[in-house]
Amino acid sequence: MLAQREKQGYEEKKYKGKNGYGMLFLLLVLLVASVTALVFGFMQLADGSGALGGVLLGGGVLLFLLSLLGLCGLRVISPKEALVLTLFGKYVGTLREEGFFWINPFCSGVNPSVGPTTVTTVQGSVSISGLNKKISLKTMTLNNEKQTVNDELGNPIIIGTIVIWRVVDTAKAVFNVNNYKTYLSTQCDSAIRNVTRMYPYDVAKDGDEKSLRGSSQEVAETLKTDLQARVDTAGLEIMEVRITHLSYAPEIAAAMLQRQQAEAIIAARQKIVEGAVSMVEMALRNLGENGVVELDEERKAAMVSNLMVVLCGNRDAQPVVNSGSIY
């Protein structure tokens, strides 16, 4: 049974707290009764009735201690908060309902993500343990720092993400992992490295495969699915993963910029050549249809060459005036 529980991990169960207002009233009544018993006990001792005075003093001290102990069990649970309770090391349940409750004063709250608090005094800094053991059930944001990873082609890239998450199973979050916040951050780094190596940073113009830059939404969904599978054991729900930064690493950024510039120049030249061919074809057709001039194949070739040079050149053309016959 124990081995099966260790394999499956803990699961959340509900803890039913008593009404805090009713218990507070009862404890105050006991506190007043204890003070009254102490006062009458001292009065009886002063009158010489030692037996009755001893009984009253003993009962008053006992009631007073029980009242103080009972007051330690009062808890206030705000909306979207939960308190994981253990009794002498055994998990007894999670108090999720908002309101004012009384719980077993021997129960203690558990929240490993709450670290010690540093208080600065005149003598120096003092570290004390965190008193607030409540677990927030609100939607939270993990701003994952930028990290350098490799894409599918092995190119180093810098990527940063934001994870929107929340706690859905408090028992798993507290008992299945050491610190669920640190666990989430570590698994997020691992998921990013695992997913980014499945995609190239960019693809060729005629490529149909997905890329980190061109398919950011699909990559984010893949990241969410991968990260959710990793943090299920911690009782966390991944609501959304967003890519906030994506760029080449500095060591190859200059080379990739030159490649992008070369691709842009080639695309521009291709467009210029296509337009120039279309314009030359139109010029030759109009000259032939309108009977402006009759050109043989050799002269057509020379005209096409001149027009292509003029239309595709980077600089303004320098015309040469021919005063003689073209033949």
- pLDDT tens column, 208-218: 568 888 788 88
Residue 195 lies in a domain: yes
Span between the terminal Cα atoms of the chain, in Å = 106
Q: Are residues 220 and 265 in the same domain?
A: no
Q: Are residues 232 and 305 in the same domain?
A: no
Q: Measured between alpha carbons, how far is 118 from 246 in angstroms, rounded to an integer?
A: 37
Residue 103 lies in a domain: yes
Range of the domain at 274: 261-312
Q: What is the pLDDT of residue 238?
A: 94
Q: Measured between alpha carbons, how far is 319 from 237 in angstroms, rounded to an integer?
A: 73
Q: Are residues 215 and 158 in the same domain?
A: yes
Q: Are residues 104 and 160 in the same domain?
A: no
Q: Are residues 156 and 220 in the same domain?
A: yes
pTM: predicted TM-score of the whole model, two decimal places: 0.69
Number of domains in the chain: 3
Q: For the packed helices 297-312 and 250-290, what is the interaxial angle rounded to 10 degrees?
A: 140
Using alpha carbons only, give the angle 158, 164, 170 rounded to the nearest 5 degrees. Answer: 130
Q: Are residues 162 and 232 in the same domain?
A: yes
Of the three residues 199, 217, 248, the one that is the final residue of a domain is 248
Q: Measured between alpha carbons, how far is 271 from 283 in angstroms, rounded to an integer?
A: 18
Residue 134 lies in a domain: no
Using alpha carbons only, give the angle 175, 181, 187 rounded to the nearest 5 degrees. Answer: 95
Residue 43 lies in a domain: yes
Residue 324 lies in a domain: no
Residue 40 three-state SS: helix
Q: Are residues 156 and 95 in the same domain?
A: no
pLDDT, one tens digit per residue, over 266-308 is: 777 778 777 778 877 787 777 777 766 666 677 767 777 767 7
Low pLDDT (below 70) residues in the chain: 1-9, 48-50, 115-131, 204-209, 251-263, 291-296, 300, 306, 309-311, 313-327
Strands 125-128 and 90-95: unpaired
Q: Are residues 157 and 202 in the same domain?
A: yes
Local structure of residue 17 (DSSP, 8 states): P
